[in-house]
Chain A
Amino acid sequence: MADDDELLDRAFAALADPARRRIVARLSRGPATVNELAEPFAITKQAVSKHIQVLESAGLVTRTRDAQRRPVHLNPARLEELTSWIDRYRLVKEAQYRSLDAVLRTTNQQE
């Protein structure tokens, strides 16, 4: 198994692609097969399979050996290790309120 740094690098590289972020967003709502994943995106099954291989090698998704279907599952633990969506939201909100603090300090001085 690759060491942690290498896995994190791979995960970020994997998520640098918008198509793969859309696949991850779709999988956050539940497992799906390659066919199901290809459907909403105007890309071929082959292209989706390639994206999934990249996500899989980054530890972001797993595939069960369910004979025919082989649904793709998101590995939420790995995603959370990176920068979870809610953390991102939190960062924005925290930055926003720190800006508000700064604005409040200046309005206070003017009075």
Chain B
Amino acid sequence: MSNALHLSVPEGLPFIDYEREFDHPVAEVFRAHADPDLFARWIGPRGLSTRVERYECRSGGTFRFIQHGDDGVEYAFRGVFHTVRPAELVLQTFEYEGYPDVVTLESMRFEDLPGGRCRLTGRSVYPSLEARERYLADGMEGGITEGYERLDELLAEQVPAT
């Protein structure tokens, strides 16, 4: 079982907001974001492996990581950690090198919850609405196969009740 991801894409504002809870203490969830080896293990997406070139998760630090699939095509990402307060806040820039100069500002807030759980609240701020749409649209490029899989599920649910 996994916790639900709450996602919102406000109309007319170049943001994406999200919220997700974890059944683990805030320190561990933060560490999985801050430690390069752990980060590389989950940042995904599935089917791509991640090689971290540089990852200094502290105020003023920089990062660059490269993802590649079986086809050998590489996707590189880089940015700067503006403010990092352990187990509380990461404020950073993020850029896909394939779209040079389209830099998003990412904020992630980590919040302690009772019972050794925590909540992560994030916002991605895009330089323009157009940039946000482009990011979302290009997500579809690789999404056709998964789209089919989802479609199969959808159709399976919609078997006529006759």
Binding site for B on A (CB under 8 A): 5, 8, 12, 15-16, 18, 21, 24-25, 28-29, 82-83, 85-104, 107-108
Complexed CA–CA distance, A21 and B133 (Å) = 13
A21 touches B141 (CB 8 A): yes
**Contact pick for B7, options A85, A90, A98, CB 8 Å:** A90
Answer whether residue B54 sits at the interface, using C-beta atoms and an 8 A cutoff. no
Among B5, B22, B43: residue with most chain A CB under 10 A: B5
The answer for the CA separation of A94 and B4 in the assembled complex, in Å, is 8
Scan residues 40-56 of chain B and give those whose CB is less than 8 A from a CB of chain A. 41-46
Q: Is the CB of A104 within 8 A of B140?
A: no
Q: Closest 3 A-B residue pairs measured CB to CB?
A: A83-B147, A99-B42, A85-B136
Contact of B147 with A99 in the complex, beta carbons under 8 Å: no
Query: Quick check: is B89 within 8 A (CB to CB) of the other chain?
Result: no
> Given A100-B22, A103-B41 in contact, is the A21-B2 Cβ separation under 8 Å?
no
Q: List 9 A-B contacts (CB under 8 A).
A: A21-B137, A28-B133, A93-B7, A96-B44, A99-B44, A100-B22, A101-B24, A102-B42, A107-B38
**B76, CB-defined interface residue at 8 Å:** no
Known interface pairs A90-B5, A101-B22. Does A107 touch B28 (Cβ–Cβ under 8 Å)? yes
